[in-house]
Amino acid sequence: KIAVQEANRLRIPVVAPLDTNCDPDLVAYPIPGNDDAIRSVQLFCQEMAEAINEGKALREQDGEALANEEKEITDEEKKEVLDEAMSEEDFGEEQE
């Protein structure tokens, strides 16, 4: 109970399994289930851990793809900027 109150105070979303003796208004993402049995808590933890690891792997894949895409764009932009900076017209305009 104290951990949920502290998380709510810090505006950290809470994900938790809840049964009928809990207040679902205190939890941002309630998961209906038995929160008293060790076996069900182990199942919740296992499933959440797998989902977290899967999400991290997908984020890394997306991040690598995005980094490669940004690098290509950045290289093109650098070339355009260098070409523009090296043109004689640009030097003449800056001196005026």
Quickly list DSSP for 10-73. TT---EEEE-TTS-GGG-SEEEES-SS-HHHHHHHHHHHHHHHHHHHHHHHHHHHHHHHHHHHH
pTM: 0.52
Q: Which two tokens stand for residue 94?
A: 């800056």
For residue 17, the tally of other CB atoms under 10 A from its CB is 20
pLDDT value for 88: 54
Each residue's pLDDT expressed in tens, for the chain with a length of 96 residues: 899 999 999 999 999 999 988 889 999 999 999 988 899 989 999 999 999 999 999 888 887 776 666 666 667 777 777 777 777 555 555 554
Q: What are φ and ψ of residue 3, in 5° steps?
A: -65, -40
Confidence at residue 79, expressed as pLDDT on a 0 to 100 scale: 73
- The helix/strand/coil state of 96 is coil
Domains of the chain by residue range: 1-36, 42-96
Q: What does the pLDDT read at residue 49? A: 94
